[in-house]
């Protein structure tokens, strides 16, 4: 009897160490083995002795009640160990997500809150699993939880919507803290991403609080991810401008924009006949995402166009009205 238990115990110990070896070699390096797979190393006497005792009892004639309690004990031990291993894996993934967040306090707080919710969910499922295997009828309990869950969901559907929206923001990352975004009629810098709301600092200085569900259901323009800025300018010249001068204007604009650093000329065309002006449309790119660089370049282009038009005798148009007066004879 003692020899049999000792034999089974040795086998369980070898089975215990083999997954740790394989999983560590396949997934982890030596630096992260101790930190994130430590639960595998904690499998000890309290886990494998009940399993060894149960396996040894297969070769013995023992009372049915004792055998049943051994089964319950093994199920409970294995379930608790499985939950601890899953928590260890979650801790590893959470740590990886926190490192990818770059030390952002808001994202780290959100990630940790979700890990707490996930761990609580794991223990609830484990408890129901153990009770079901112990012979407890959990149907009514599950049904009660279902009805209670529906009632809670209906009462807190707005909060749950914001909660799931924050999950989508965390996973999809349409923006991060520090990004400048435009949503609806609000433009500002993201300062905080929470479970229910996110906070923006608008360009005029005030703090704007927006629910996460509103953010995920609206169009978001992320200015931080711009690599260049496109500028579209429409200018009007008087109807007294000759066709030869109109033909020169696109070339003049091309020369001015091409001569500047950090810009790329795209097009310039005589677009249409306006009510009081001949309309030209100019499009060029500022090779910088910064607003300051765009405005500096736009100012240089505008001043250069004014100087060149003055030199060429081309006049800018402004709203005018011609009145003809006839004298009755």
Does the pTM exceed 0.85?
no
| Top-confidence range, 61-70, 109-118, 217-226, 262-271 | 262-271
Q: Which pLDDT does position 21 carry in this prediction?
A: 46
> Residue 176: its pLDDT value, please?
82
Question: Is the sign of the CA dihedral 200, 202, 203, 205 positive or negative?
Answer: negative
d(CA 282, CA 267): 6
Query: Distance from CA of residue 272 to its chain's centroid?
Result: 44
The lowest-confidence range among 34-38, 52-56, 221-225, 292-296 is 34-38
* Domain range annotation of the chain: 2-155, 173-225, 229-312
- Whether the pLDDT of residue 118 is over 70: the answer is yes
pLDDT at 4: 43
Comparing CA positions, the residue from 216, 211, 175 lying closest to residue 194 is 211
CA quadruple 177, 181, 186, 187: dihedral sign: positive
Q: What percent of the chain has pLDDT over 70?
A: 66
In this structure, of 14-23, 165-174, 257-266, the range with the lowest mean pLDDT score is 14-23
pLDDT of residue 269: 95
pLDDT-derived band at 254, boundaries 50, 70, 90? very high
pLDDT tens-digit series, residues 222-245:
888 888 999 999 999 999 999 999
Domain 229-312: give its CATH code: 3.30.70.100
Q: What is the 3-state secondary structure (H, E, C) of 100-162?
A: HCCCCHHHHHHHHHHHHHHHHHHHHHHHHHHHHHCCCCCHHHHHHHHHHHHHHHHHCHHHHHH
Beta strand pairing status for 229-237 and 278-286? antiparallel
Least confidently predicted of 151-155, 164-168, 226-230: 151-155
Sheet strand arrangement including 278-286: 229-237, 278-286, 263-273
Same fold, 173-225 and 229-312: no
Distance, CA of 159 to chain centre: 19
- With H, G, I as helix, E, B as strand and everything else as coil, classify residue 280: strand
Class of domain 173-225: mainly beta
Q: Are 51 and 12 in contact (CB under 8 A)?
A: yes
User: CA 196 → CA 28, 107, 113, 175, 317, distances in Å?
Assistant: 35, 13, 12, 16, 53
* Mean pLDDT score of the chain: 76
Rounded to whole angstroms, how far apart are CA atoms 51 and 11? Answer: 11
Separation CA 10–CA 2 (nearest Å) = 12
Q: Show the DSSP H helices in the chain as ranges.
A: 2-27, 30-36, 38-41, 45-57, 64-100, 105-133, 139-155, 157-172, 212-216, 243-258, 291-312
* Strand-by-strand arrangement of the 207-211 sheet: 207-211, 197-202, 186-193, 180-183, 220-222
What pLDDT is stored for residue 153 in this prediction?
56
Alpha carbon separation from 85 to 80, 118, 161, 233 (Å, rounded): 9, 14, 30, 62
Looking at the DSSP bridge assignments, the partners of residue 109 are none
- Position 125 scores a pLDDT of 82
8-state DSSP, 242 = -
Are the CB atoms for 165 and 216 separated by under 8 Å? yes
């Amino acid at each position: 009897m003692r020899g049999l238990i000792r034999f089974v115990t040795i086998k369980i110990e070898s089975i215990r160490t083999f997954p740790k070896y394989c999983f560590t070699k396949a997934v982890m390096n030596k630096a992260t083995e101790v930190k994130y797979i430590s639960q595998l190393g904690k499998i000890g006497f309290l886990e494998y002795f009940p399993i060894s005792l149960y396996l040894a009892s297969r070769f013995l004639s023992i009372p049915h009640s004792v055998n049943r309690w051994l089964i319950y004990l093994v199920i409970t031990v294995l379930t608790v160990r499985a939950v601890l291993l899953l928590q260890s894996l979650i801790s590893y993934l959470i740590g990886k997500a926190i490192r990818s967040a770059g030390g952002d306090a808001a994202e780290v707080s959100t990630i940790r809150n979700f890990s707490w919710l996930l761990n609580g969910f794991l223990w609830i499922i484990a408890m129901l699993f153990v009770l079901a295997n112990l012979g407890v009828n959990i149907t009514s309990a599950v049904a009660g939880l279902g009805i209670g869950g529906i009632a809670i969901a209906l009462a807190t559907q707005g909060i749950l919507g914001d909660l799931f929206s924050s999950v989508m923001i965390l996973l999809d990352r349409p923006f991060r803290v520090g990004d400048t975004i435009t949503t609806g009629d609000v433009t500002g810098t993201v300062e905080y991403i929470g479970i229910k709301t996110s906070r923006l600092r608008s360009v005029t200085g005030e703090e704007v609080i927006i629910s996460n569900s509103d953010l995920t259901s609206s169009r978001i323009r992320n200015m931080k991810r711009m690599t260049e800025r496109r500028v579209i300018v429409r200018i009007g010249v008087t109807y007294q401008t000759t066709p030869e001068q109109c033909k020169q204007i696109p070339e003049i604009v091309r020369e001015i924009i091409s001569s500047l650093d950090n810009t790329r000329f795209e097009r310039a065309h005589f677009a249409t006949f306006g009510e009081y002006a001949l309309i030209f449309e100019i499009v060029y790119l500022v090779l910088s995402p910064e607003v300051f660089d765009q405005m500096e370049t736009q100012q240089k282009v505008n001043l250069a166009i004014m100087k060149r038009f003055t030199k060429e005798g081309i006049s800018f148009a402004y709203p005018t009205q011609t009145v003809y007066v006839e004298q009755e004879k």
